[in-house]
């Protein structure tokens, strides 16, 4: 039986862990996800323009592991540019009906966690629960 080619594996597929690997399965899966330079450029341009991105900009942000890795990749890419230094942050919020959604935002533009919650709720037409 032929071995499976991991380069074609789905972003959602659960990875296997070696005995000596103490990372979580989410950390292992995140490490295998590749983010395109075009997506990173688009995301950074949107952050510069309006201060945040959501799953409406990148559908894969529905996957919190993908979103967290994308945030880290964006932050690394931004560090390469000395002329732009935002305070980038990712936050997950629960909404009515059990939806959990992510927002990646520049805290210089979206000032507080509460502002991020309101921005995400308005953008996605979600109901905030308190």
Q: What is the pTM assigned to this prediction?
A: 0.82
**pLDDT average, residue stretch 112-116:** 97
CB atoms within 10 A of CB 73: 19
CA–chain centroid gap for 110, Å, is: 16
The strand pair at 88-94 and 100-106 is best described as: antiparallel
Residue 65: which of 20, 16, 102 has the closest Cα? 102
Q: Round to whole Å and give the CA distance between 122 and 78.
A: 27
Which residues, 6+ apart, have CB-to-CB distance to 11 below 8 Å? 29, 33, 60, 63, 65, 66
Size of the chain in residues = 130
Domain boundaries defined on the chain: 24-124
Q: Which two tokens stand for residue 33?
A: 């996800």
pLDDT tens readout for residues 17-72: 667 788 888 888 888 999 999 999 999 999 999 999 999 999 999 999 999 999 99
Please state the rounded mean pLDDT for residues 77-98. 92
Q: How far is 70 from 48, CA to CA, in rounded Å?
A: 16
């Amino acid at each position: 039986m032929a071995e499976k080619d991991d380069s074609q594996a789905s972003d959602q597929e659960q990875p296997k862990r070696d005995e000596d690997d103490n990372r979580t399965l989410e950390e292992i899966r995140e490490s295998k996800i590749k983010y395109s330079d075009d997506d990173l450029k688009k995301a950074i341009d949107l952050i510069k323009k309006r201060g945040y991105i959501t799953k409406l900009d990148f559908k894969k942000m529905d996957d919190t592991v993908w979103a967290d890795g994308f945030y880290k990749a964006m932050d690394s890419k931004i560090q390469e540019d000395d002329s732009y230094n935002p305070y980038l942050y990712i936050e997950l919020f629960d909404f009515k009906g059990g939806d959990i959604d992510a927002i990646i935002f520049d805290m210089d533009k979206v000032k507080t966690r509460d502002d991020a919650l309101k921005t995400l709720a308005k953008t996605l037409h979600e109901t905030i629960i308190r």
